[in-house]
Amino acid sequence: MRFFGRAAFCLLAVALGCSGVACSSDSGTSGGLQLKLQGAGATFPAPLYTKWFKAYTAEHPDVQVDYQPVGSASGKKDMHDHTVDFGASDGAMEPDEIAQVPGGVQLLPMTAGGIVLAYNLPDIDRLKLSREAYVGIFLGKIKKWDDPAIAASNKDVKLPDTDINVIVRADGSGTTLVFTKHLSAISKEFAASPGASMQPNWPVGTRSKANQGVAAALDTTPGAIGYTEYGFAVSAKLKMATLENKAGKYIEPSIASGQAALASLEMPADLRAWIPDPEGDQSYPIVTYTWILAYKNMGDAAKAKALRDVLSYCLTDGQRKCEALGYIPLPDAVAAKVKAALGNIQAGGVAPASSAAKPEEKTEKKAA
């Protein structure tokens, strides 16, 4: 009986200790254990988000941010299902989508970037594409690289008489939404079908998943052309076409031409801004903001504070890391508006599934 009593005491102590570990891991306030924030969504900003979150944790080891680049459509769904602490999307949520999320959603543009048309033609280092040409390619109407619509803008280039291999996204993608919004803005035919969508019914193309998948397919497919984020193209050392903009100028993708496009738009109060066809002689024609999706009511005070602090870092020190990875820092006026909106992330309301309200439920999920 004496042994049983000691054993029972030890088991009770272990049980209490485990319960304390689970709770302190969730709160991030005890024993040096980390508070964990779980996010998921867009692949477009994933390299930058990964760099930001690692840098923040290096300075604040009590907070860990786990971000899964699963695509914008999945990021929105995870927000709706309350399976993450925050989401991310290259397509800002529409008001009707926000209305369906318990706890409300605060849209927070965090950075911006260009969507490029990268190509694989070994003997051609410079390629100009008119608006007619690249719309025709993605409608499946221009099938050969020496098509007159392409040749007209490349008079000093010997274009091959070979098939164009189009690469498009297979998954629900904010990058695709932005690209198809642009194509719809410049072509009534494209607007009618397939139109602007995260996952359109493309009339042509081989499907690849995520920006990194498209970049990899472009790198290994002779005669290929496809759309991907500028930073991915730079990292993969892909050739990028110079595109005709709204002013009729041929503009190379760069940080500077992306900033020129952003300058043509004033950020509205709800922080939802689209630039489907930017004004300006020096503006690159396909540029977008990308958004963090945060619950206005997170249901957990520690997580709400941690997320505000993490995103504040991203909007200040983090902006200086953008250009090295091919992203466009937020204009100062936009960054100030977004930082002010962080105050809308609070603890009240409905908790995400990853922050269940009852301590015993938290412990069971941690143990599982």
3-state SS, the chain, equals CHHHHHHHHHHHHHHHHHHHHHHHHHHCCCCCCCEEEEEEECCCCHHHHHHHHHHHHHHCCCEEEEEEECCHHHHHHHHHHCCCCEEEECCCCCHHHHHCCCCCEEEEEEEEEEEEEEECCCCCCCCEECHHHHHHHHCCCCCECCCHHHHCCCCCCCCCCCECEEEEECCCCHHHHHHHHHHHHHCHHHHHCCCCCCCCCCCCCEEECHHHHHHHHHHHCCCEEEEEEHHHHHHCCCEECEEECCCCCEECCCHHHHHHHHCCCCCCCCCCCCCCCCCCCCCCCCEEEEEEEEECECCCHHHHHHHHHHHHHHHCHHHHHCHHHCCECCCHHHHHHHHHHHHHCECCCCCCHHHCCCHHHHHHHHHC
| Cβ contact 81:194 at 8 Å | no
Based on the fold, state whether residues 301 and 184 are members of the same structural domain.
Answer: no
Work out the mean pLDDT of the chain and round it to a whole number.
Answer: 88
pLDDT confidence tier of residue 32, bands split at 50, 70 and 90 = low
pLDDT confidence tier of residue 264, bands split at 50, 70 and 90 = confident
| Domain extent at residue 332 | 25-110+295-367
Q: Who has greater pLDDT, 361 or 173? A: 173
Based on the fold, state whether residues 119 and 197 are members of the same structural domain.
Answer: yes
Q: Poorest-confidence range of 33-37, 71-75, 145-149?
A: 33-37
Q: What is the pLDDT of residues 321-330, one digit of tens each?
A: 999 999 999 9
pTM: 0.85
* Domain end (from 288, 308, 337): 288
Q: Poorest-confidence range of 8-22, 60-74, 153-167, 172-186?
A: 8-22
Based on the fold, state whether residues 267 and 150 are members of the same structural domain.
Answer: yes
**pLDDT at residue 272 is higher than 70:** yes
Based on the fold, state whether residues 118 and 104 are members of the same structural domain.
Answer: no
**pLDDT at residue 7 is higher than 80:** no
> What is the pLDDT, as a whole number, of residue 350?
52
pLDDT confidence tier of residue 13, bands split at 50, 70 and 90 = very low
CATH number at residue 35: 3.40.190.10
Q: Is residue 2 part of a domain?
A: no
Percent of the chain at pLDDT above 90? 84
**pLDDT at residue 30 is higher than 50:** no
> What is the pLDDT, as a whole number, of residue 301?
95
Q: Is residue 268 part of a domain?
A: yes
Based on the fold, state whether residues 230 and 206 are members of the same structural domain.
Answer: yes
Q: Is residue 240 part of a domain?
A: yes
Based on the fold, state whether residues 345 and 322 are members of the same structural domain.
Answer: yes
Based on the fold, state whether residues 132 and 105 are members of the same structural domain.
Answer: no
Q: Is residue 5 part of a domain?
A: no
The total domain count for the chain is 2
Q: What is the pLDDT of residues 294-310, one digit of tens each?
A: 999 999 999 999 999 99
**pLDDT at residue 21 is higher than 80:** no
> What is the pLDDT, as a whole number, of residue 11?
33
Those residues with Cβ within 8 angstroms of residue 248's Cβ, 6 or more apart along the chain or in another chain:
none
| Cβ contact 87:295 at 8 Å | no
Mean pLDDT over 2-21 rounds to 34
| Cβ contact 74:103 at 8 Å | no
**pLDDT at residue 187 is higher than 90:** yes
Based on the fold, state whether residues 261 and 231 are members of the same structural domain.
Answer: yes
